[in-house]
Amino acid sequence: MILYNVPGRTVVNMEPATTIRIARECPNVMAIKEATDNMDQVMDLLYEKPESLELVAGDDALALPIISMGACGVISVIANAYPYEFSKMVHATMEGRMDEARKYHYLLLPIMHTLLKMGNPSGIKAVLHVKGLIQHVFRLPVHPVSQDKFNEIVETVAITEKSIV
C-alpha cells in the first residue's frame, strides 16, 4: 500500500510522525507519495522513516530535489507527456549526474508550472491532446480546461517542444 500525502488536494497534511506511526503499525504500507512543498517535512521524513518505508516524490517540479535527498522515485504527471525527458532527469538525479538532471528539469519546468495551475487530470489531458497523443474527450466529473488555459498550454507545449533537441 502507498500512502498519499497531497495536502493541496485534501487540505490536510499528514505529519511525519503520523506517517512513521502508520508505517510501523501497518506492515502493508510500503511507501508514501509525498506531494508537499514543505522541504523540511520531506527531510524529516527521510531522516526518521523506518527502513521498510520508501518515500516517493509526488510533485513533478520538486522531484529533482526530493530524489536528491533520498526519495526512491516519483509518481509523475508530466511523464505522461514527456516520458523520455522526465525519465532522463530522474535517472540522472539518482545517479548523481546533477548537471544533466538540472538540464532536463529546467527544460520541463515551464510546462510543469503550467500544469500546476490547470488542475489534474484536465491539464495533462490537454497537453496530451496538443501533442496529438489523445482526443480531447472528457467524462464527468472531469471537465476540459477553459479556452484561455488551453491557449496557455498550447503556447507552453510549443516552447517546450522547441527546446527539446
What's the rounded Cα separation, in Å, for the pair 155 and 133? 17
Angle in degrees, 0-180, between the axes of helices 147-163 and 122-130, rounded to the nearest 10: 60
- Look up residue 98 and give its three cell numbers: 546533477
- The catalytic residue among 33, 49, 88, 125 is 33
Q: d(Cα 85, Cα 107) in Å, to the nearest integer?
A: 8
Residues 6+ away with beta carbon under 8 Å from 157:
111, 127, 130, 131
Q: Is 33 a catalytic residue?
A: yes
- Could you say which DSSP state residue 73 is in? E
- Asked if 4 is an active-site residue, the reply is yes
Active-site residue set:
4, 33
